Structure 1
């Protein structure tokens, strides 16, 4: 592992929430995304929370890990109470958003890709929005979950930008961007492809024309 340069700063833990706030605001501005303040605040809090592995992962018989999304949905449907069901749906939405936003490249090596996470996360937040509106203080939370559901793919693009470090894109990176664009219609991927001189086309089998 290379040593950090003398000029490279380590982000203090105390400023992590501020860092995510600035990063999310910057990415939203770059992508012309507008969200209610409560919704962007929810996303920033989620990133801050999940930066701690003990909050992101669960204790399983095999150690720390993540339940499959379908199992989370099943747990929500079979939960003994509305509160348990809502809590599980919320975790399903949160985990789906975080994984699709920060681990989209890793998902390419999994049986299910980023579009599956987008679909499951949007479903979870949409269901949760309908369920909490009748509860005390549920209207405000319901509006947040509804906006998260409506803008799930947009928020994945925002988090992709937050997580992406500056680097030169290889042909493999371009193919992955193209694959994500084909599966999700991501506007961010389309914009990045055009900047690289690649015009997205649904009719093409590959972004490279010979």
Structure 2
């Protein structure tokens, strides 16, 4: 009987799996990022494991990708609580898109630098409306500076998982 190289991964939750894997990748870096940044990134990855969080419904009921640049512009006219929610969603979506789905961006007209800048800008703006995250003042300002490193780690994790975007979306659709 031939032995399989595949293994079963047992974790308490998908978020715990993402945290452990991102932390493993982070520990191999010359200058590891703080665990709180890894933790927040794992929360983002867990959230977007459900496709309804990644996409938005149009008025006609069709589903499409979020238009992050337009959402960022429109966020200026929102109340403070709505702005906080919207900026976090924009930043989180850009982080996930530039990290986990970075290969799919290469097929778009707009390059990855555009989406990275949208994400960093959203997090910087969010910092002025949400002063702390788990008692860490200036967390989102600091997080925006780590955006590139975090997306690289997510991309490495995606490669390690041997999942492509279509498999992930099929899995996410089944879960929702």
TM-score by length of 2: 0.78
Shift of 1:34: 2.6
Secondary structure of 1:39's aligned partner: helix
| Map 1:34-49 → 2, pairs under 5 A | 34-49=32-47
TM-score by length of 1: 0.67
Q: Which residue of 2 aligns with 1:65?
A: 64
Instruction: Give the CA RMSD over aligned residues.
Output: 2.5
The structure having more radius of gyration, on CA atoms, is 1
Separation in structure 1 between the aligned mates of residue 143 and residue 152 of structure 2, nearest angstrom: 13
Are the counterparts in 2 of residues 89 and 125 from structure 1 also a CA contact under 8 Å?
yes
- Whether 1:161 aligns to 2:156 is yes
Secondary structure of 2:63's aligned partner: strand
| Map 1:183-202 → 2, pairs under 5 A | none
Are the counterparts in 2 of residues 129 and 141 from structure 1 also a CA contact under 8 Å?
no
CA offset digits 1:19-74 (Å, max 9, x no partner): 11111011112223433332221111111111111222222235222221111112
Gaps of 5+ in 1: 168-210
Shift of 1:139: 8.5
Which 4+ stretches in 1 moved above 4 angstroms?
Answer: 9-14
Residues 12/143 of structure 1: CA separation in 2 closer, same or farther (3 Å cut): same
CA offset digits 1:70-109 (Å, max 9, x no partner): 1111221121x11111111111100000000011111111
Residues 9/58 of structure 1: CA separation in 2 closer, same or farther (3 Å cut): farther
- Whether 1:145 aligns to 2:125 is no
Higher RCO structure (Cα 8 Å, ≥6 apart) = 2
